[in-house]
Amino acid sequence: MVEGFSPADPSRAGLFLDFDGTLAPIVANPADSAMTPDLAPVLSDLAERLGLLAVVSGRPAAFLAARAGVRGVRLLGLYGLQEYVDGTVRARPEAAAWEAAVDDARDLLAARLAGLRGVTLEDKGLAVAVHWRNAADRGSAGRAVERLVRDVAAATGLAREPGKLVEELRPPVAWDKGAGVAALTRELGLETVAYVGDDRGDLAAFAAVRRLGGLAVAVDAGDETPPEVLEAADLLLHGTEGVAVWLTDLRDALA
C-alpha cells in the first residue's frame, strides 16, 4: 500500500502520530507550533478509512484540540495521561493526584530560571517543560537546565522527561505513549498498528507497536534527532515534509 504499512483490513488498523516534529515543524517558540494546514483534510480522510487515527503527544490535550482537532481523530496529550473527549479534557486519576507537586515545580523553576536568556518555561497544566532552543550557548544552557530539573525532580518527586532541547517534569505514574498505544489497540481490537514520532518520548510507543507486530516510523530531522530514535525505527521519513507525503500516499492508497 505505502512503504512499511499495508493493512489487509484498514478498518482493523490503527495509526498513531506524534505532533511536534511529526505533524508540525519544530519552532523557536513552542506556543507557535502549528500543523501544516494541508494535513487536516488528509487526517480527516484517514480517520474515516482506518479503524483508528490518533495523535499521541507530550502537549496538553487542550492544545492538541486547538491545533489538531480534526473530525474522527483521537487526541491523547501529556504522553497519554490526558484525552480530549467531547470537548472535555479527561486526565488519568493517578496523574491528577500530582497537580500540587507540578504547581510546586513550576514555581521553583520560574524562580531559578529568572535571568537565563533564551530559556523558556512552558506550563502544560499537569506537567512543566523548560526549553533552551533560543539560548545563545545551547550547550551551557542545556547543562544548567538539566541540573536544575534534576534538583526540582528530587524535591517534588516528579519524573524527568528529556527531549530535543527541552527538559520536562511530569507525574511519575506508570503510563507513557507506549501504554496509551497498547490500551487503544486492545480497546478497539486492532490487528495492524503503526506509530510515527521523532523524539525520545516516542521510544516507548515504538516498543509497543513492535510488540504488537506493528511498524515504528521515525522522523529524521538531522542532527537534533536522537540516534536511539533512528536506531529503534523500522522506517525513516525525512522531516515533517516526508511525513506529509507518506500520509497523503496512504490516504490515496486507501481511497
Q: What is the pLDDT of residue 37?
A: 80
18 is annotated as an active-site residue = yes
> What does the pLDDT look like over 193-252, one tens digit per residue?
999 999 999 999 999 999 999 999 999 999 889 999 999 999 999 999 999 999 999 999
pLDDT band for 127, please (50, 70, 90 cuts).
very high
pLDDT band for 36, please (50, 70, 90 cuts).
confident
Q: What does CATH list as the number for 95-170?
A: 3.30.70.1020
Catalytic residue among 18, 20, 176, 199: 18
pLDDT band for 1, please (50, 70, 90 cuts).
low
Q: C-alpha cell of 86?
A: 467531547
What pTM was computed for the model?
0.92
Choices 3.40.50.1820, 3.40.50.1000, 3.90.1150.10, 3.40.50.1470: CATH for 10-92+175-254:
3.40.50.1000
Q: Using CA atoms, how far apart are residues 82 and 213, in angstroms rounded to an integer? A: 26
Q: What are phi and psi of 36, to 5 degrees?
A: -55, 125
DSSP state of 5: B
Q: Using CA atoms, how far apart are residues 29 and 182, in angstroms rounded to an integer? A: 32
Q: Using CA atoms, how far apart are residues 192 and 176, in angstroms rounded to an integer? A: 20
Q: Which residues pair with 14 in a beta bridge?
A: 52, 193
Q: C-alpha cell of 222?
A: 538531522
* Spacing of C-alpha 169 from chain mean position: 15
Name the H helices within the chain.
39-49, 61-68, 93-96, 99-113, 138-156, 177-188, 203-211, 227-231, 239-254
Percent of the chain at pLDDT exceeding 90: 93
Which one-letter amino acid corresponds to residue 179?
A
Q: What is the pLDDT of residue 196?
A: 98
Q: How many helices (H) and strands (E) does the chain have?
A: 9, 12
Per-domain residue ranges of the chain: 10-92+175-254, 95-170
> What does the pLDDT look like over 135-166, one tens digit per residue?
999 999 999 999 999 999 999 999 999 999 99
Q: What is the pLDDT of residue 124?
A: 95
The pLDDT of 71-99, averaged and rounded, is 95
Using DSSP, state whether 76 is helix, strand or coil: strand
Q: Using CA atoms, how far apart are residues 240 and 38, in angstroms rounded to an integer? A: 12
Say whether pLDDT at 97 is over 90.
yes
Of the candidates 69, 80, 71, the residue with the CA atom closest to the CA atom of residue 23: 69
